[in-house]
Amino acid sequence: MKIIAPTNNKGGVGKTKLSILLAEYMSIVLKKRVLGIDFDPQCNFSQRFLKMEVDPASPQGFIPPIHPDYDPHSQEDSDWDGRSSVADIFYKQGVTPYPTYLENLDIMPGHAEKLLEAEAVRRNEVVEKVHKQLSKLLESADVQEAYDVVIVDTAPSKGPLTVSVIKAASHIVIPSVMEEQPIQGIYGMLQLWMQESLRREQAKPLDLIGILPNMFRTINLHKDMLRSLQENQAIAKYIMPVKLGQRAVFAEVDAEGAIPKTIFDLPENNTAKQEALEVCEYITGRVFND
Amino acid sequence: MTKKKRFGISQSLNQGFTETINAVKNNAGAVRFEVVGLTRIELDPLNPRELTLLPVDIIQGIAKTDSHYDRKRIEFERLQGLAETIKKKGLINPVVVYKFGEKYRLVAGERRFLASLIANRDDIQARVLNEKPNNLDLRLLQWIENTEREDLSLKERIGNVKMIVQEYLQVNGQQEISATLLKELIGISLPQASCYVAVLNAPSDLAEQIAQEKITNLDKAALLAKVKSATIRKQAMEACVAGNSLKQLRSLIDSAQNGERNTSIVIQKKRGRVAARVSLGFTNKPVIIKKIIQFVVKQPEYNHHAIKFDTINWEKYEQVTTAFRKFIELLEGETEQ
C-alpha cells in the first residue's frame, strides 16, 4: 500500500490542491481504491469531499459530519456520537472512513480542535502519543486490505502532525511556488526528509518524488527561480519535469455547486486538464513503477 | 534602457540543498541508531565468544550445577564495575546489532550488553546494521570495537588479527601478508603492523607462550619471533617471562648470537630501592598489640612507660594504632642504633 503526502511548511503553495488532484486521478482514472486522510486542522481537504460542520461549542473550526452509516438506535453504535475523524487515533479510538461521491474514494476527515491539540502535545510525550500513531493506523490489516493508496494532506507546519505523516509515508511530494519564501520552505521540508530517511531501514525508504512547480506564471521571477533550482546539481533530479500553471479553473472546481466537480470531467483538450493529467501521470509512474 | 531583472536562489540556500540531498544519498539506510529493549537482543550463536556468562545466568542466577560455575562467577564479578558505571552514567558507547526477524543480534558489545542486564536496565542504545555484515566486515568491526578496550591481552589481539587475515584470504585468495597490507587492512601504524606480522609467523614454542599468556607484550613477542635459533630463543623467552625489559632482551639476544657464551639468565631484581626500614603491617586484632605492649612495659627496663598505656581503650582501633606508634617511638628513643 502506497502512502503519498504532499508537504511544505509554507502555506498556500497548493498542497491541498495536489492532494485533491491525486485522490481524484487515482480513483477516477486509475480506478484504484484510495483513502484520503486530512491531517490539516484547516480541514480544506475534508471539506472538498464531505460537508464538514461548524460546531458552535468548539469555534476552532470544522468537525466531521454525522457518518452516513451511523444508527443511533443500534447496540454497536450506542457509545458513538456518530462522528469520526483521523484525529481520534490520538485518543486511542478507531476511525471509520466516510464514503464520497466517488466510488473508489473514502475520506478520513480532520477535526480542527483535536488536530490542534495533537499539535500542542509536550515534547517528551510527543513521540509515543503523536508521532507513531498514523503509522500504526496505516499498518493495520484493515487499512492495508481495503486500500491501494493513501493520500495524506498536511498542514503548513513542521510540527508533530507533519512529523507523524512523514514517519508513516512511503512517498512525499513538495509542491512549491517559484518564489523566494516558498523555496525556503522547500529547504525545511528537505531537512525533515533527510532526518527521516536516515532513520529508515533500506527496505522501507522514504521516497522524495520531487518538487512540483505550482501556480506557475510565465514571468521572469518564476522562470528564473525554476532554472536556478534546475542548475543546482544535487537537487536538479528532484525538480519534476511537469508543472501546474496558475489557472482559474483549478480553484473554480472547488467552489460549492461547481460544474464540473472535478478537473478530470473537463473536455479532453482543456489545458488545465492536460496539465493535471501530466502531473498525476508523472507522480503515479514514480510511485508505482520505481 | 533598464536592465532585465534576473532572479535566482541565494548561495546559502543552494548550498543547503546540496548538503541535504547528498546527506541522504550517502547515508540513507546505512546509519541508524535505536534504543532497543534488552529482551529483544540476543547473542549471535555463530560468533565465537570469549565469555561463558549468558543472559539467563544474569537474570536467573548462575546454576550451582553449571559446569562453568567458577568461571562464570569471575566474569560476573568483573562486569560489576561496568554495570556500576552504566547505572550511574548510562551507556556511552552504543552496542552494534543487526536485525534478525523480531530480534536483534549482537555484532559487538557483549560486555556492555551483559553489564546493562546486571545494571537492571530496560533498554540499550544500539547502532543497527541493515543486515548481518559479511565475515570480513564482522571481524574488522569487532577489531575496531575491541582496540578501544585496554584490557585486551596480546593473546586476544593476535587471535583477532588471525581471524581478520583468514577472512581476508578467503575473499581475496591466498597471498603473502605483508606489513603494508596489514596496516591498510586494520588501520595501524607500519611499525606495529611489522610486529604483528612477525608474531603471526611465530614459531610454535613462542606461540605457546603467548597462548598461555606468559608473554604479553607485542614488541617483545615480535623480537623473540625473529630469533632463528631455537636455543637462543628459549633463553630469551625465559628471560622475557622473568621480567626482562626490551633493552635487556635485545642485548641478551645480541650477545648470544655473537657467540659469546652467556649461560646465566639475568635475574631481574625486584624493583624499588633497597629496603631501609621495617614495615609494620596491619592486624585487625588489637588484643595482639595489647599483649605486646603490656608484656614489654612489664620488663624492668621499660616499666617507667607502663603508665602511658593505662588508659587505652583496647577495643578502639584508632587508639590502639596511636598507642602502638607511640610505643615504637619510645623504644626507638631508648635504643641505640
**Tens of pLDDT along chain B (337 residues)?**
556 667 888 888 889 999 999 888 887 766 678 888 899 999 887 766 677 888 988 988 888 888 888 888 888 888 887 888 888 878 878 898 988 888 899 888 888 999 999 999 988 999 888 777 888 887 887 777 666 555 567 888 888 888 889 888 888 888 888 998 888 888 778 888 899 999 999 999 999 999 888 888 888 999 999 988 888 899 899 999 888 888 888 988 888 888 755 555 555 555 666 667 788 888 888 899 999 999 999 998 888 888 888 888 888 888 898 889 889 988 888 776 5
A197 and B7 within 8 Å at the Cβ level: the answer is no
Q: How would you classify the pairing of strands B95-100 and A98-99? A: unpaired
Residue A1 in this model has a pLDDT that exceeds 90: yes
Using CB atoms, pick whichever of A198, A205, A234 lies closest to residue B21: A234
CA separation, residue B158 to residues B51, B152, B192, B227 (Å)? 17, 10, 12, 19
Would you call B132 an interface residue with chain A, using a CB distance cutoff of 8 Å?
no
Residue B261 Rama label (left phi>0; alpha psi -120 to 50; beta): beta
B28 and A224 within 8 Å at the Cβ level: the answer is no
Which residues does B58 contact at the CB level (< 8 Å), separation at least 6?
B76, B114, B117, B118
B20 and A187 within 8 Å at the Cβ level: the answer is yes
A232 and B99 within 8 Å at the Cβ level: the answer is no
Residue A201 in this model has a pLDDT that exceeds 60: yes
- Mind telling me how many Å the CA of B169 is from chain A's nearest CA? 30
Per-residue pLDDT reduced to its tens digit, A22-68 = 999 999 999 999 999 999 999 999 999 999 998 877 777 899 999 99
> Chain B 62-121, CB below 8 Å of chain A: which residues?
99
Nearest residue to B72 via CA among B82, B83, B87, B61 = B61
DSSP tag of A97: P
Q: Tell me, what's the ipTM?
A: 0.78
Nearest residue to B198 via CA among B232, B234, B154, B239 = B154
B5 and A201 within 8 Å at the Cβ level: the answer is no
Would you call A225 an interface residue with chain B, using a CB distance cutoff of 8 Å?
yes
Question: What is the spatial distance between Cα A244 and Cα A173, in angstroms, rounded to a whole number?
Answer: 14
Note the pLDDT of residue B265.
55
Q: Please, are residues A7 and A162 in contact by the beta-carbon 8 Å criterion? A: yes
Share of chain B above pLDDT 90, in %: 13
Question: What is the spatial distance between Cα A18 and Cα A173, in angstroms, rounded to a whole number?
Answer: 9
CA separation, residue A105 to residues A108, A135, A147, A225, B201 (Å)? 10, 20, 9, 36, 72
- The partner residues of B97 in beta bridges, in order of sequence, read B106, B128
**Interface-testing mutation among B13, B17, B22, B123, with chain A (most A C-beta atoms within 10 A):** B17
CA separation, residue B139 to residues A88, A106, A116, B41, B158 (Å)? 49, 53, 51, 20, 13
Q: What separation, in Å, do the N-terminal and C-terminal C-alpha atoms of chain A show?
A: 14
Query: Could you give the angle at the alpha carbon of B137 between the alpha carbons of B136 and B141, nearest 5°?
Result: 120
Note the pLDDT of residue A171.
97
Would you call A232 an interface residue with chain B, using a CB distance cutoff of 8 Å?
yes
Q: Which amino acid is at B15?
A: Q
A198 and B28 within 8 Å at the Cβ level: the answer is yes
- The partner residues of B125 in beta bridges, in order of sequence, read B35
Residue A241 in this model has a pLDDT that exceeds 60: yes
Per-residue pLDDT reduced to its tens digit, A138-163 = 999 999 999 999 999 999 988 889 99
DSSP tag of A74: S
For chain A, give percent helix, strand, coil, nearest 5. Answer: 45, 15, 40
Question: What is the spatial distance between Cα A122 and Cα A127, in angstroms, rounded to a whole number?
Answer: 9
Per-residue pLDDT reduced to its tens digit, A109-130 = 999 999 988 888 877 677 777 8
Q: Which long-range CB contacts under 8 A does B157-160 form with residues at least 24 apart?
A: B157/B218, B158/B196, B158/B199, B158/B200, B158/B210
Question: What is the spatial distance between Cα A23 and Cα A284, in angstroms, rounded to a whole number?
Answer: 11
- Mind telling me how many Å the CA of B136 is from chain A's nearest CA? 21
Query: How many alpha carbons lie under 13 Å from residue B148 in its C-beta half-sphere?
Result: 8
Note the pLDDT of residue B273.
63
Which residues does A217 contact at the CB level (< 8 Å), separation at least 6?
A245, A246
Q: Which of A241-255, A272-286, B188-202, B286-300 has the highest mean pLDDT?
A: A272-286
Q: What are phi and psi of A260, to 5 degrees?
A: -75, 165
Question: What is the spatial distance between Cα A197 and Cα A189, in angstroms, rounded to a whole number?
Answer: 12
Using CB atoms, pick whichever of A199, A221, A233 lies closest to residue B32: A199
Residue A262 in this model has a pLDDT that exceeds 80: yes
Q: How would you classify the pairing of strands B95-100 and B123-129? A: parallel
Note the pLDDT of residue A28.
95
